[in-house]
Structure 1
Amino acid sequence: MRWKDRPELKPNDRARLTGTVAGHANSGGHIQIMISGELFLAHRLIWKLVTGNEPDDEIDHKNSIGSDNRWDNLRQATSAQSTMNSRRRSNNKSGYKGVYWNKKSRKWETSIRMGGKCYYLGGFDDPKDAHEAYVEAAKRLHGEFARVA
């Protein structure tokens, strides 16, 4: 989104702002834009501009990049679906989404959530095998919102 020419601004401000990218990234990486003293998230503004409607729930970025507001990267999603599309956590020690080390069993274990329930997928000697089980379950349970990395 870019600022259009705004006649109410001083000539120098008009020249400086017209055509520049609107807004800035917030701490979560989403672009926010100040309009008439009120902050708006760019992806929600884009949804409303394109569809003519307020989003029913959340707007999910398919590639999980909050600043990538291309129309083909946006989709409506529930909070749960948006969570399914989240990236591997930064504190993950296995290197694979959904895979963790269990000291007690001395195995790489994996589980997945769906519909408020946690499904244990098993314990494995190799984290790659645990990840394969996670990927299969994510594709089956999360469908288009499955993110496996």
Structure 2
Amino acid sequence: MAEITQALVRDIFNYDAETGKLFYRDRASPWSLNPAIAPSVKSRWLGKECGVLVKGYLCVNILGKRYSAHRIIWLWVHGTLPDKDIDHINGDRSDNRIENLRCVDGAENQKNMGIRKDSSTGFHGVRYLKQRNNYRTEITINGKQYFIGEYDELGVAVEVRKAVEKFVGFHPNHGGREAFHEEKGSA
């Protein structure tokens, strides 16, 4: 299988940096379509936005393999496939504007998550303890969970948790939105 390069993705796609969208372009390089079918394929796809949503992420096929569009866009702009995770800073998995993408390791990516749908309090690391009638705060750093404290008021527990998040370097957006759920991302 051929290597995916910046030249190849720029040959296949046009990228609109303002919208973060990829569009099929007219290809005149060796990667061009089979001449026998090119006219019908071109009329169907040329200039059209490309990709399908898979769990909220836009994906594209290149040479028979599926790629996340944000990784292809990173390659299109920077010239190399990222060797780490690509974080969507605003939490919108389909927002592929280059200014919304950053290359980070997995631990750093976990520091910019939305709230899980099944969160009982609506806040990361804060849960209600019915038997004690208070709120417990915890935080996970590099895979290890740490107890922060227990508080009678939800607001105090959240404030303490947010202060710890800031101290250990969590992204300011962490927990500031609901996490993506598949039913929301279906197109």
Give the TM-score, by structure 1 length.
0.89
- Where has structure 1 moved over 6 Å in runs of 4 or more? none
Q: How does 1:74-93 map to 2 (within 5 A)?
A: 74-93=101-120
Number of residues of Structure 1 aligned to a counterpart in Structure 2? 148
Deviation of the 1:146 alpha carbon: 5.6
Instruction: Find the aligned partners of 2:49 and 2:88 in 1 and give their Cα distance.
Output: 19
Structure 1 residues 84-143: Cα deviation after superposition (integer angstroms, max 9, x where no partner): 111111101112222111233321111111133222221112212111111111111124
CA contact (8 A) 1:5 1:14 kept: yes
The answer to which of 125-134 and 8-17 deviates more is 8-17
Partner of 1:133: 160
Greater relative contact order (Cα < 8 A, sep 6+):
2
Aligned 1:62-101 pairs, distance under 5 A: 62-101=89-128
Partner of 2:26: 5
- Partners of 1:131 and 1:33 in 2: how far apart? 40
Deviations for 1:10-29, whole angstroms, at most 9, x for unmatched residues?
43431221111111110x21
* Among candidates 142, 151, 155, match of residue 124 of structure 1: 151
Q: Which runs of no fewer than 5 residues in structure 2 stay unpaired?
A: 1-21, 177-187
SS of the residue 1:123 aligns to = strand
User: Could you tell me which residue of structure 2 aligns to residue 58 of structure 1?
Assistant: 85
Whole-Å Cα distance in 1 between the matches of residues 123 and 165 of structure 2? 13
Q: Does the Cα contact within 8 Å between 2:135 and 2:154 map onto a contact in 1?
A: yes
> What's 1:38 paired with?
65
SS in 2 for 1:31: strand
Residue 13 of structure 2 corresponds to none
CA contact (8 A) 2:88 2:96 kept: yes
Question: What is the deviation of 1:31?
Answer: 0.7
Q: SS where residue 84 of structure 1 aligns?
A: coil
Percent sequence identity over aligned pairs: 31
Asked whether the 8 Å contact 2:74–2:82 carries over to 1, the reply is yes
Partner Cα separation in structure 2 for residue 86 and residue 54 of structure 1: 23
Shift of 1:43: 0.7
The answer to whether the Cα contact below 8 Å between 2:90 and 2:173 also exists between their aligned partners in 1 is: no
SS of the residue 2:93 aligns to: coil
Q: CA RMSD in A?
A: 1.8
Aligned counterparts of 1:35 and 1:116: Cα–Cα separation in 2: 35
Alignment pair present for 1:115 and 2:142: yes
